[in-house]
Structure 1
Amino acid sequence: MIPILAMLLQAAAPAPAAKPADPREARYDRCVTLARDDPAAARAEAVRWAASGGAWFARQCAGLAYTQEQNFAGAAGEFEAAAKAAELAHDRRAAIYWAQAGNARLAANDAPRARTALDSALVAGTLEGLALGEAQLDHARVMVASGDDAAARRDIDLALTNAGDDPLAWLLSATLARRDGDIPRARKDIGEALKRAADDASVQLEAGNIAALARDEAGARAAWAEAARLAPNAPAGRNARAALAQFGDKPATVPAGR
């Protein structure tokens, strides 16, 4: 699955604007590159820059640096600060920053604050294309966490229109369909996820779950075995091995050092 940082960086590019490019964008690009390679140095650069007029550019760069360090709460705070500053300046980038804040709040397991940020991103009406689809996908994840599957389905169907190349969108759609008992849709959507990310243990695990519900024992065993092989120490791999145990299958051996 696309790492969180990669998802955030997809939306990091400045939004198109009719007016000339902001001269701060070149420094911003350098800061984003630094955030990938040396997040501590990028945060220090962002602090210096914020003190000398870096505004939302500096705060977003700091958020990306925190994300690289997996400090998602810290990242969310920076993205929210960037969004508020951009809103005050009537800059279209504000919606992107709110979407990034929502993604970071989800990574920090803070669904209520993720929803607030994502609502702000979507209500702005300025997101387009992949950025819009990813925000809709994250909003669907918030709805799942809140137990509102009907709202999640509405969000995910919108996300599939705008971010249909993201295997996570198809995986979530398949999982929702399975939970609703819609096996034909679940099988169709997990098939789309497999086309895009057959090497993802979470996708294989769900493929096994759906096959099992459809009484396809061979398909379930094959998918679960693949999930266990791909990620033996990750939750998806462990869950797959537990599922295989019902058949008396020997759990996949965990290679040394993994």
Structure 2
Amino acid sequence: MALAAAQAAPAKPEALPADPREARHERCIALAAQDATAARSEAGRWQLAGGGYFAQQCLGLAYATEHNWAAAASAFEQAARAAELAHDVRSANYWSQAGNAYLAAGDAVHARAALDAALASGDLTGFARGEAQLDRARALVAAGQMPAARIDLDAALATAPADPLAWLLSATLARRMNDLPRAQKDITQALARAADDANVQLEAGNIAAAAGDEAAARKAWSEAARQAPPGSPIQATVTKALSQFSTR
């Protein structure tokens, strides 16, 4: 299982009002996943025909498929603002998507603002709320606000406990805050859900090394190297990590 760096697929808030544009919206979403260029063209035509924030969100999804995260974030944010003006609860989901895309674009400041808006709305519940809390924690870590990030990560673990990325990031944050017991506890949860992910094995090795367990660190890092694609950044990170033991 690979943990995605960014997840721009739309969550569906509960109790959405009916809208005659929804059927075309569903078709546009499906097209965005298959043919981003065609979806961008469809979204543009639809905007001219009055598609509003439905068309704008589809445009964001098309950009996300192309990994054009800055453009995706801008499209999602425009959709969110338009939905807010219409008093449509979908705005919370669009803000969440904007925050996720801003994170993927490396813009933690705008990500934090978008995620603040998503969470402040009160319209995100369950897994969707947990994912927004997780993303805001990532933005807070990027800003060096570790205690605040811990609050959001704990909330994310309570609302989205099945997400291995939440446990992985929680373990990493705990290690960085020198809380090794918490780091060990949370990486165990991440391994239980995604032991076949190189990022999880890499962090398991980092935590074992921090605890002075060379054998466990070597085992986890070697597994991370086996799972990672050849030539990937993880391969280089693991090689460097293992080298600390070569002079002993």
Question: TM over 0.5: same fold?
Answer: yes
Query: Which residue number corresponds to residue 15 of structure 2?
Result: 16
> Which letter maps to 1:181?
N
Matching residue within 34, 51, 55 for 1:54: 51
Equivalent of residue 245 in structure 2, options 238, 244, 247: 247
SS of 2:9's partner is helix
Structure 1 distance, partners of 2:236, 2:35, is 33
Q: Distance in 2 between matches of 1:127 and 1:14?
A: 6
Structural RMSD (CA):
1.4
The answer as to whether partners of 1:205 and 1:237 remain within 8 angstroms in 2 is: no
TM-score normalised according to structure 1 size: 0.91
Match of 1:217 in 2: 214
Match of 2:91 among 94, 104, 110: 94
Deviates more, 1:233-242 or 1:37-46: 233-242
Residues of 2 paired with 1:146 and 1:93: CA distance?
Answer: 28
Deviations 1:185-237 (A, max 9, x none): 11110011111111111111110010011111110000000111111422222
SS at match of 2:82: helix
Deviation at 1:184, TM superposition (A): 1.2
- The two structures have a TM-score, normalised by structure 2, of 0.95
Preserved CA contact (<8 Å) 1:201 1:237 = no
Which whole-Å CA distance do the structure 2 matches of 1:3 and 1:37 have between them?
A: 18
Q: Deviation string for 1:85-141 (max 9, x for gaps)?
A: 100100000010001000000000001111111111111111001110000000000
**What code does the residue aligned with 2:234 have?**
A
Pairing 1:1-258 to 2, within 5 Å after superposition: 1-3=2-4, 7-11=7-11, 13=12, 15-17=14-16, 19=17, 21-231=18-228, 232-248=230-246
Q: Deviations over 1:142-190 (max 9, x none)?
A: 1100001000000000000111111111011101111122111111100
Task: Mark the runs of 5 or more structure 2 residues left unpaired by the alignment.
Answer: none
Contact kept? 1:230, 1:237, Cα under 8 Å? no
Q: Distance in 2 between matches of 1:212 and 1:3?
A: 25
Residue 16 of structure 1 deviates from its aligned partner by 2.0
2: CA distance, partners of 1:186 / 1:30: 43
Answer 1 or 2: higher relative contact order, Cα 8 Å, separation at least 6. Answer: 2
**Matched residue, 1:254:** none
Q: Distance in 2 between matches of 1:91 and 1:71?
A: 26
AA in 1 matched with 2:218? R
Contact 2:32–2:62 under 8 Å retained in 1: yes
- Pairs aligned (count): 245
Structure 1 residue 3, shift from structure 2 partner = 2.8
